[in-house]
């Protein structure tokens, strides 16, 4: 049997990926975490597809891309976000987050001819992170497979006034599915993610780092979350905190019950995005990152 299969339900027309081999992947949630395969010193264990920093084969890298050993798509890659096992986006200096986003853009453009390039990040066990070393996945899905992902155009008309950075609007749709979900959308519309400029990536890096930091404050903890980048035109980045556990109604009907008013989420964001205390926390985290890498 193939490692994975794309199967379409002929009645509902919905797609499912059958990938039983992925059950064998290392997973801290079920006690099968190995010595971390993403930490420096293991560069010879897999084919390296791309890197920022150092030379091929050495351990002086800043960001690396390797094949996923347990794929569910014809092209499935892992972006190892950092050599540091213990930090993530709230602690990265903005320039390092920018390097990660530049890596996303590079891989997007490398594969955009091959299908739908879906870039997603899981942080924390409740968000599906199997190995607790910050990493992102890039899966290229065949065009025939319909990805049921909300389009920016369907929510932007209902967008409450949000936080504005130089290049981006930050907002929470009125029909948000998840409590505290946040969308980051470029002010310049009608483009693919692969067309984003370096200046925009620098701005996006600052917004993303700040949002994750203030949500850590909101939840008084290192909160679980997912984010993804929309694979088609009019791209956006959507952050979904995973504090909520889905119930039987939501799982069975695919109708979600959102227990958080998006307007309150947006008010919280606008209050804290320019808060000097938050800026101080970010600088402290970033200084600690520089000491450890």
- First CA to last CA distance, the chain: 42
Instruction: Assess if residue 21 is contained within a domain.
Output: no
Residue 210 confidence (pLDDT): 92
Do 226 and 266 meet the contact criterion of CB atoms below 8 Å apart?
no
| 162 band by pLDDT with thresholds 50, 70 and 90 | confident
Confidence check: pLDDT of 95 > 80: yes
Structure tokens at 94: 């903005």
Confidence check: pLDDT of 276 > 90: no
Confidence check: pLDDT of 290 > 60: no
Structure tokens at 64: 């690396």
Alpha helices for the chain (secondary structure H): 94-111, 152-156, 198-219, 248-253, 262-272, 276-292
pLDDT in tens, 172-210: 998 899 999 999 999 999 999 999 999 999 999 999 999
Confidence check: pLDDT of 44 > 60: yes
User: For 251-265, what is the mean pLDDT?
Assistant: 93
Can you give the CATH number for the domain in which 102 is found? Answer: 3.30.428.10
Confidence check: pLDDT of 293 > 70: no
User: For 23-42, what is the mean pLDDT?
Assistant: 74
Confidence check: pLDDT of 34 > 80: no
**DSSP structure string for 78-95:** EEE--S-TT--TTTS-HH
User: For 73-96, what is the mean pLDDT?
Assistant: 95
Instruction: Assess if residue 16 is contained within a domain.
Output: no
Mean pLDDT of the chain: 89
Do 92 and 82 meet the contact criterion of CB atoms below 8 Å apart?
yes
Domain holding 263, by residue range, is 28-292
> In 3D, which of 71, 65, 139 has the Cα closest to residue 102?
65
Kindly report each contact of residues 244-248 with a partner whose C-beta sits within 8 Å and lies 24 or more positions away, as own/partner: 244/178, 244/179, 245/126
Number of structural domains the chain divides into: 1
Instruction: Assess if residue 116 is contained within a domain.
Output: yes
Instruction: Assess if residue 7 is contained within a domain.
Output: no
Please count the CA atoms within 13 angstroms of the CA of 262 that sit on its side-chain side: 21
User: How far apart (Å, rounded) are the C-alpha atoms in residues 188 and 190?
Assistant: 7
Residue 53 confidence (pLDDT): 96
| 112-126, 151-165, 229-243, 260-274: least confidently modelled range | 151-165
Q: What is the pTM of this model?
A: 0.91
Confidence check: pLDDT of 255 > 50: yes
Kindly report the number of other CB atoms within 10 A of residue 155's CB atom: 19
- Exposed / middle / buried, residue 203 (Cβ in 10 Å: 0-12, 13-18, 19+): buried
């Amino acid at each position: 049997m193939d490692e994975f299969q794309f199967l379409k339900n002929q009645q509902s027309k919905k797609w499912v990926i059958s990938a039983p081999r992925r059950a064998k992947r290392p997973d801290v949630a079920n006690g099968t975490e190995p010595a971390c395969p993403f930490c420096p010193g293991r560069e010879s264990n897999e084919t390296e597809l791309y890197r920022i920093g150092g030379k091929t084969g050495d351990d002086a890298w800043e960001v690396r891309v390797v094949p996923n050993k347990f794929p569910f798509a014809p092209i499935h890659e892992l972006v190892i976000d950092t050599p540091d096992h213990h930090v993530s986006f709230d602690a990265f200096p903005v320039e390092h987050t920018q390097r990660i986003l530049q890596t996303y853009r590079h891989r997007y453009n490398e594969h955009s001819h091959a299908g739908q390039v879906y870039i997603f990040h899981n942080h924390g066990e409740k968000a599906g992170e199997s190995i607790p070393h910050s990493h992102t996945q890039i899966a290229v899905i065949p065009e025939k497979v319909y990805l049921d992902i909300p389009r920016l155009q369907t929510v932007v008309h209902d967008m409450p006034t949000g936080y504005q950075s130089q290049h981006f609007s930050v907002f929470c749709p009125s029909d948000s599915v998840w409590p505290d979900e946040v969308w980051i959308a470029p002010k310049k519309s009608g483009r693919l993610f692969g067309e984003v400029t370096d200046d925009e990536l620098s701005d996006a890096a600052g917004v993303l780092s700040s949002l994750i930091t203030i949500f850590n404050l909101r939840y008084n903890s290192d909160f679980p979350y997912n984010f993804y980048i929309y694979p088609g035109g009019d791209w956006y980045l959507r952050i979904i905190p995973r504090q909520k556990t889905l119930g039987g109604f939501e799982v069975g009907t695919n109708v979600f019950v959102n227990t958080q008013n998006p307007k309150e989420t947006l008010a919280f964001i606008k209050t804290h995005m320019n808060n000097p205390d938050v800026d101080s926390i970010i600088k402290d985290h970033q200084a600690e990152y520089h000491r450890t890498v």
